[in-house]
Amino acid sequence: MRMLTIIGGLLPLATMAQGHGPASAALDRSELRIGEQAVVTLRWSGGAGVAWPLIGDTLSTRIEVVRRAPIDTAEQGAVLEQRITVTSFDTGYWAIPPFRFGAGQEVVESAPLLLHVLPYAVDSLALPKEPKPIHAAPFSLSWWIREHAAWIAGALAIALAAALALVLVRRMKNRQARPVEVAPLLPLHERYLLDLDALERERLWQQGEHKAYQSRLTDLLRGYIEERYQVPALERTTDELMQELKVSPLSLEQQSLLANALRSADLVKFAKALPSPQENEQLMAAARRLIRETAPPPPVHAKP
């Protein structure tokens, strides 16, 4: 009991702790009922070029991540900020470990946080209520049609498809089949390298369209990753995608190259950062390098 009192007294201090230096983390509430949600706000005031902490599906074994907001700017771009919504389904005092920010060769940690999850009070003396009698509703044709609208629409669609198929089969029987020449498909990596060449020829960033240039470049890079490794890269945030690619054939160096390229573009797209010409050229070079290094091997044809 004494230990719980000490923890309860330290809870507000741990919750509102902002960390040391440019990294900080704070909870919007120190106590919540089981299943309710709280928001952790991460802040970085050390300028651009920071490696943001990777946030997975959990912050600890007891605290789950519900959603992650995009990294945004505050105080006229001087501070980067991200809001993470969390919840817990276990009662007790649960610690949130420090968040690690990469600043060049150094790692800066925020202060740890403490979250108190309370149970819901249950009235054990309340008597069970009597069940209500069953009420039979009168039959309604309009209600029946609404309830079975999907089945009715499906049956009509199947009948229509069968009729169209019958018409097409009859037409094909009356028409002589003609051979169709199919153009050979380019290999996956060559197709995306050609798309990068086309994007570079548009000279978007040279005309001041940095956001459009980096958005289209990273969309091509995400599209290649999606086709190459069969992961929904276009639908994931950068953190979610990198978490999923941890078990992919990508090497650690290739994962780091991809993460740095996507996070640099995120700062341009969402934090309104202005990249230098060298950064735009480095982003294109990184995309080409990653595609060439991860190109699928050519198919092996059996000898006759």
- The answer to whether 259 touches 236, Cβ cutoff 8 Å, is no
The residue type of 117 is: V
CA–CA dist 152, 96 (Å, integer)? 53
- Nearest CA to 188 out of 289, 301, 299, 296 is that of 296
What is the spatial distance between Cα 240 and Cα 65, in angstroms, rounded to a whole number?
Answer: 12
For residue 304 the two structure tokens come to 């006759």
Q: Which residues of 196-207 are buried (b: 16+ CB within 10 A; e: fewer)?
A: beebbeeebbee
pLDDT score for 301? 56
pTM to 2 decimals?
Answer: 0.41
Provide the pLDDT for residue 178: 56
Burial of 112 (0-12, 13-18, 19+ CB in 10 A): middle
pLDDT of residue 177: 52
CA 109 to CA 107: how far, in whole Å? 7
Going residue by residue through the chain (304 aa), what tens digit of pLDDT does each one get? 444 444 444 444 444 444 557 899 999 998 999 999 999 999 998 877 889 999 999 999 999 999 999 988 866 667 899 999 999 999 999 999 999 999 888 999 999 999 999 998 766 666 667 777 887 777 778 888 888 888 999 999 999 999 999 888 888 877 755 555 556 688 888 999 999 999 999 999 999 998 999 899 999 999 999 988 888 888 889 999 889 888 888 889 988 888 898 998 888 888 888 989 999 899 899 989 999 988 888 766 545 4
- Long-range pairs for 65-69 at CB < 8 Å and ≥24 separation? 66/37, 68/237, 68/239, 68/240
Closest among 82, 100, 6, 69 to 42, alpha carbons compared: 82
- Cβ–Cβ < 8 Å for 39, 81: no
Largest CA distance in the chain: 91
